[in-house]
Amino acid sequence: MKEQDRALAEKVLDYWFTMEFLAQDPFPDHPELINRVKKRKLKPRPPGLRWNPEGQ
């Protein structure tokens, strides 16, 4: 393949991948995650308490 053809092919593929990415549907909402966020907003942590990712 010629160098110019290769460069053009790379540009076309970059453009195509970008369009595919932008055309994706958003992730669906997860009700359990939304409910957890709402609960946290309604009941804030006491000052000085650190966040524990494992929930223990």
Model pTM greater than 0.85? no
Q: How far apart are CA 48 and CA 43, in angstroms?
A: 15
Q: What is the pLDDT of residues 27-47, one digit of tens each?
A: 777 888 888 888 888 777 667
Instruction: Return the structure tokens found at 34.
Output: 């939304």
Share of the chain above pLDDT 70, in %: 77
Conformational region of residue 48, where left means phi above 0, alpha means psi within -120 to 50, and beta covers everything else? left
Report H helices in the chain.
Answer: 3-22, 31-42
**What Å distances lie between residue 52 and 27, 45, 55, CA to CA?**
26, 12, 5
